[in-house]
């Protein structure tokens, strides 16, 4: 290949336009061709962004890129971390996560050799986990739009640890299907 690749940092905010993706999903940022387009070897790039945060607003985050390994887990750690019967997760590379709220990064508690659970330092909301490998797991419920299809769990870890009675479909869900 000839020519120099232009670093992304040279894109100016005026060249970025945000719009909702067609599936009602995250915001897509599109790089528009500018009058200086001759400076750029890439004229269009689309990256998905997702927002989320804790109940009090101290921890807020932006995540970028493809959500990895969407799954739900009912292990004892996940149940104790949340007080819920399962914790639904999705992973992002650590460099794709920006902590943008007034509380900065969440606090962590080392829960295993390879991971630390993360939570809001002010009021304790579950945020997810920060792993030793360069990934950040986000609790799907902490995302602003957890209903997006890319967040749907692909598997259920420790399914045998969930209570046997937990096959409940609520009355209002049943009614909604009729």
**Which residue number, 75 or 152, has a Cβ lying nearer to Zn ion?**
75
Dist. CA 127–CA 120, nearest whole Å = 7
Tell me the pairing of strands 68-73 and 156-157: parallel
Q: Is 73 in the site for Zn ion (CB under 5 A)?
A: yes
Dist. CA 6–CA 12, nearest whole Å = 12
Q: Is 78 in the site for Zn ion (CB under 5 A)?
A: yes
Q: How far is the CB of 86 from Zn ion (least distance, A)?
A: 9
Dist. CA 61–CA 139, nearest whole Å = 12
**Which residue number, 78 or 120, has a Cβ lying nearer to Zn ion?**
78
Q: Is 137 in the site for Zn ion (CB under 5 A)?
A: no
| Structure token digits, residue 171 | 């009355």
Q: Which stretch binds Zn ion (CB under 5 A): 54-62, 65-73, 128-136, 162-170?
A: 65-73
Chain residues in the site for Zn ion (CB under 5 A): 73, 75, 78
């Amino acid at each position: 290949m000839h020519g120099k690749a232009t670093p992304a940092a040279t894109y100016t905010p005026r060249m970025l336009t945000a719009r909702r993706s067609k599936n009602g999903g995250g915001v897509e940022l599109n790089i528009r061709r500018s009058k200086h387009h001759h400076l750029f070897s890439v004229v269009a790039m689309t990256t998905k962004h997702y927002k989320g945060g804790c109940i009090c607003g101290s921890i807020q985050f932006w995540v970028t890129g493809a959500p990895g390994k969407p799954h739900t887990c009912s292990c004892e750690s996940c149940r104790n971390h949340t007080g819920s019967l399962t914790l639904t997760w999705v992973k992002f590379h650590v460099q794709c996560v920006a902590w943008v709220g007034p509380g900065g990064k969440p606090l962590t508690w080392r829960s295993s050799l390879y991971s630390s659970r993360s939570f809001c330092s002010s009021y304790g909301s579950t945020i997810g986990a920060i792993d030793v490998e360069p990934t950040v797991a986000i609790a799907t419920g902490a995302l602003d739009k957890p209903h997006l299809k890319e967040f749907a769990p692909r598997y259920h870890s420790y399914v045998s640890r969930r209570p046997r009675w937990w096959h409940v479909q609520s009355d209002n869900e049943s009614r909604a299907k009729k």
